[in-house]
Amino acid sequence: MKVLIVNKNEIKDAITMLGCIELMEDLFVKLEEGIADNPLRKAMVLPNKNGGLLSMMPGYNSQKNIMGIKTVSVYPENADIGLESHQGTVTLFDSTNGIPLAIMDASQITSIRTAAVSAVATKALANKNSKVLAIIGSGVQAASHIEAMNTILDLDEIRVWSRNKKNVEIFIKNQRKKYSIPFIHAHSISDALENADVVCTTTSSNEPLIFSNHLTRGMHINAVGSSVKNAREFDGNAMKLSKFYVDKIESTLNESGDFLLAKKEGIINDKHIKGTIGEVLINNINGRESKNDITLFKSLGLAIEDISTAFYIYEKYKKNNEGHWIEFC
């Protein structure tokens, strides 16, 4: 039995951002048809001062006869020492017999599929003539979200804000090498968000960064950074002002600090969740109803997104008889 091993650079070669966006769009439609089992993630918080944790995310796709698990470590302070905050593996199995099929780098899969999901939500919820993008954060997800938004939008301007001004300067310098779009180093969140059409928040903040006074009519927001119940990027009043959509309702009710902390404060309740992005795609619920709506998509990340991306890559390498295959047992 041979198992495919795929590293970060090989993942980049195997799937484009546009291809991943199309894959995620199809996946969210299929999720509404009940083809996937996606249990809540399990996390082991380590007793150290660096705030590290190990997260385990299993998933199963009955249509493709695949199952898998994403195992990822999260170390928010890694950026200070030149490392990515999220690192790990995606392990893919054949669900008909349990045979392992592939082991892949999780950080690159996470990077592309997270931004691709935000692109799916943006296509479904943002105003069609969106021109100004605001990025909050300056890490890996900030870069991948610029790529994703540039893939689906005709952008005139990209604004970037992060707490670390030096990081922003380096980040913008690198991004300018890739895109001809004007980049602006925003010196405050207010400057970044003022009259922005689309906002992507990609930080590791535990405390609110964005408040109701930062939001403007017609804005669409992809909230990506916080994925645990005791951390948030948005305060309760900002949440209340938005039409709120999610990747999975069960995950939101159990894992989203942005939602749960606002709920604990009595500002919103479970009815504030309009529904999933999949429901919008199949027209089960309304998305944007007015050009003045403020829409917010909370992306917690689902294991089935990683597993579906990994299976796409696996099939491509298998079909082309390429990649690194090792005898496993």
Distance CA 59, CA 308 (A): 10
Please tell me the predicted confidence (pLDDT) of residue 233.
95
Among 92, 119, 96, 121, smallest CA distance to 105 is for 92
Range of the domain at 315: 2-109+304-327
Please tell me the predicted confidence (pLDDT) of residue 49.
63
- The enclosing domain of 244 has a CATH number of 3.40.50.720
Give me 96's structure tokens: 């008909």
274 and 147 share a domain?
yes
23 within 8 A of 58, measured Cβ to Cβ:
no
Counting the structural domains of the chain, the total is 2
Cβ neighbors of 315 (< 8 A, separation 6 or more) are none
The predicted model scores a pTM of 0.94
Distance CA 71, CA 91 (A): 8
219 and 174 share a domain?
yes
Residue 120 placed within a domain: no
Please tell me the predicted confidence (pLDDT) of residue 151.
98
Residue 104 placed within a domain: yes
Among 120, 143, 303, 136, smallest CA distance to 204 is for 136
54 and 156 share a domain?
no
The bridge status of strand 324-327 relative to strand 273-276 is unpaired
- The enclosing domain of 46 has a CATH number of 3.30.1780.10
Q: Going residue by residue through the chain, which has 329 residues, state the pLDDT in tens, using 9 for 90 and above.
A: 899 999 999 999 999 999 999 999 999 999 999 988 889 988 888 887 666 889 999 999 999 999 999 999 888 778 778 787 778 999 999 999 999 999 999 999 999 999 999 999 999 999 999 999 999 999 999 999 999 999 999 999 999 999 989 999 999 999 999 999 999 999 999 999 999 999 999 998 889 999 999 999 999 999 998 777 888 999 999 999 999 999 999 999 999 999 999 999 999 999 999 999 999 999 999 999 999 999 999 999 999 999 999 999 999 999 999 999 999 87
172 and 284 share a domain?
yes
Give me 286's structure tokens: 């309304």
